Amino acid sequence: MTIFNLGSINADLFYRVPHLPGPGETLAATAFSRGLGGKGANMSVAAARAAARCVHVGAVGADGRWAVERLTEYGVDTRHIVTLDEATGHAIIAVDEGGENAIILHPGANRALSETHLAAALAEARDGDTFLFQNETNMQREGAERASARGMRVAYAAAPFDAAAVQSVLPLLDLLVLNAVEAAQLQAATGLAPEALPVRDVVVTLGAEGCRWHNTDSGESRDFPAPKVEPVDTTGAGDTFTGYLLAGLDRGMPMPQAISQAIRAAAIMVTRQGTADVIPDLKDVQDLSL
Ligand code: ATP
């Protein structure tokens, strides 16, 4: 089967600085690096690394062809990434010597997707394929509606959190992935605990604690502990978890098996510095002896 991931593609621009600049200050960076990021791109790479067929539905600007080429190298199907007359989404990330950061995020092309583009991509989907989305693009609700009508599994990673956006798609979802903060925010907005949401499967990630799965069909909740690792950089752990989870389900694994694999992949990810470029592949995950 295939995962269609409506998602962001960002250039993560890292600047090492002696201190974070103040108002009016011009500061020379001591180092610079550019990485592929964006929750959407991270999840597509994770799904592809987990051996799923993943079609990324998204957009870059003319300055973003390198990102598309990199996604292709990582095994993502990029035929439905369009080039728009906008800047490629990017994050300007200043990191000082103490590791403190300041980030400017420009969504650019990620929020300029058209319904025509979305419809053309989803026209390829078959019953039982997966539609995955997050909150860094536009067209989420339109996508969820089309996907649901086509009999796809509709999965949402509700980050960055927006209560109104989540509530508008809740009835269309088969699977919702939240971190603990997002779960608390959603409960504050709706009055509903994760296990009471009108979604068949809800997975709440709990950082070093692992995750909890709620299945409303059975009324069962189950905890999955994370392997103990020395964290180096937790960026992208949640995205790796979700990409692997969806890839496992898409490949026919029962939920507990897909979660176990996702937890192992995310544990490896927190031991690595970087985002999309360092997401572990299936062999790394299978070889993990923890
Ligand atoms: P992030 O924004 O840092 O990518 P998140 O806030 O979306 O992550 P978390 O719940 O922090 O989500 O982490 C997602 C998953 O990553 C967890 O469910 C767990 O499996 C794994 N993970 C995160 N931190 C650790 C850790 N310190 N040790 C082992 N696994 C971890």
Choice among 77, 201, 239, 250 that is catalytic: 239
- pLDDT of 13: 95
227 Cα nearest atom in ligand 1: 29
11 is in an annotated binding site: yes
- Calpha distance 258→235 (Å, rounded): 21
26 is in an annotated binding site: no
210 is in an annotated binding site: yes
* pLDDT tens digits along 207-225: 999 999 999 999 999 999 9
264-287: average pLDDT: 94
Report whether pLDDT(36) > 70.
yes
231 Cα nearest atom in ligand 1: 27
DSSP characters over 1-59 = -EEEEE---EEEEEEE-SS---TT-----SEEEEEEE-HHHHHHHHHHHTT-EEEEEEE
Between helices 115-122 and 140-149, what is the axis angle to 10°?
30
Tell me the pLDDT band of 290, cut-offs 50, 70 and 90. Answer: low
239 is catalytic: yes
ipTM value, please give it: 0.98
Report whether pLDDT(282) > 70.
yes
Report whether pLDDT(289) > 80.
no
- Calpha distance 20→113 (Å, rounded): 34
CATH 3.60.60.10 fits 2-9+37-88+108-287, yes or no: no
Identity at 274, one-letter amino acid code = G
Please tell me the residue having the least CA distance from ligand 1 atom 22: 207
Phi-psi region of 38 (alpha: psi -120 to 50; beta: other; left: phi over 0): left
- Calpha distance 29→18 (Å, rounded): 8
217 is in an annotated binding site: no
Work out the mean pLDDT of the chain and round it to a whole number. 96
43-50: average pLDDT: 98
* pLDDT tens digits along 95-130: 999 988 899 999 999 999 999 999 999 999 999 999
Please tell me the residue having the least CA distance from ligand 1 atom 13: 207
Distance 205 CA to ligand 1 centre (A): 7
Cross-strand pairs, 191: none
Cβ 179 vs Cβ 157: under 8 Å: no
Cβ 131 vs Cβ 142: under 8 Å: no
Domain ranges of the chain: 2-9+37-88+108-287
Please tell me the residue having the least CA distance from ligand 1 atom 8: 238
* pLDDT tens digits along 149-177: 999 999 999 999 999 999 999 999 999 99
Q: Which two tokens stand for residue 34?
A: 């550019």
- pLDDT of 208: 97
Where is 71: in which H helix or E strand?
A: helix 65-73
Confidence (pTM)? 0.96
Residues with a CB atom less than 6 Å from ligand 1: 179, 205-208, 210-211, 226, 229, 231, 234-239, 241, 263, 266-267, 270
Tell me the pLDDT band of 274, cut-offs 50, 70 and 90. Answer: confident
Percent of the chain surpassing pLDDT 90: 95
